[in-house]
Structure 1
Amino acid sequence: MSPPITPGEILLEEYLEPMGISQNAMARAIGVPPRAINEIVLGKRSITPAMSIRFGAFFGQSPEFWHGIQVECDFRALAGKSRQLVSGITPAKDLLSA
């Protein structure tokens, strides 16, 4: 199974490259260090809600679009781990009947 597509890949391949916009130009335009955009593109940094607002303003989209891409990627990264994450958790309904 191939790794999921990251928000950074979407940013680079579906927006920056087709539009002919460099990572540095985008960073300057939205007021962030170029390294921040590069780390998002490389999958080393997540798109935060604050960054989603900047991306939305830059591309003329809702911030929720970019935030949603990040959240979906985060959930896919946890796929198969949900059982491990919830083991040992007592459901609230069980506490109410005790």
Structure 2
Amino acid sequence: MNSIGMRPVHPGEILNEEFLEPLGISAVGLASWLNEPVGVITGLVMQNTGISPDLAKKLSIHLKTTPGFWSNLQSTYDLSQAEAERSCDSGH
């Protein structure tokens, strides 16, 4: 949770819930569509990896979003994680 009580949302969760599920596309199918290794996309959907600028560009083209949409999701998540770690380290 962050300082306003919301848990950080991983971009892989958004990808899965807002795009893959409604479109009926699997992570494997998306990987093929994007010409990306399956492990990159499954890692993202499983929230084990993040979105690189190149992947943000590919997702934006194929899912009709913008690279900034994906980059902002990733940076917001990363900042939330860093804040949580800092709070734990400082004892708050």
TM range (shorter): 0.7 to 0.9
Gapped runs of 5+ residues in structure 1?
Answer: 85-98
Once residues 10 and 22 of structure 1 are traced to their aligned partners in structure 2, the CA distance between those partners, rounded to angstroms, is 14
**TM-score calculated relative to the size of structure 2:** 0.82
* Structure 1 residues 8-65: Cα deviation after superposition (integer angstroms, max 9, x where no partner): 1111011100110111111001110111100001111110101100000110111111
Off by >6 Å, runs of 4+ in structure 1: none
**TM-score calculated relative to the size of structure 1:** 0.77
Q: Which residue of 2 aligns with 1:55?
A: 59
Shift, 1:3, TM fit: 4.5
Once residues 10 and 72 of structure 2 are traced to their aligned partners in structure 1, the CA distance between those partners, rounded to angstroms, is 12
Once residues 34 and 61 of structure 2 are traced to their aligned partners in structure 1, the CA distance between those partners, rounded to angstroms, is 8
Is the counterpart of residue 71 in structure 1 residue 81 in structure 2? no
Once residues 68 and 42 of structure 1 are traced to their aligned partners in structure 2, the CA distance between those partners, rounded to angstroms, is 19
Identify which of 14, 19, 37 aligns with 2:23: 19
Gapped runs of 5+ residues in structure 2?
Answer: none
Q: Which residue of 2 aligns with 1:33?
A: 37
Query: Which structure's relative contact order is higher, taking Cα pairs within 8 Å and 6+ residues apart?
Result: 2
Aligned alpha-carbon RMSD (Å)? 1.7
Task: Count the aligned residue pairs.
Answer: 83
Percent of paired sites with the same residue? 33
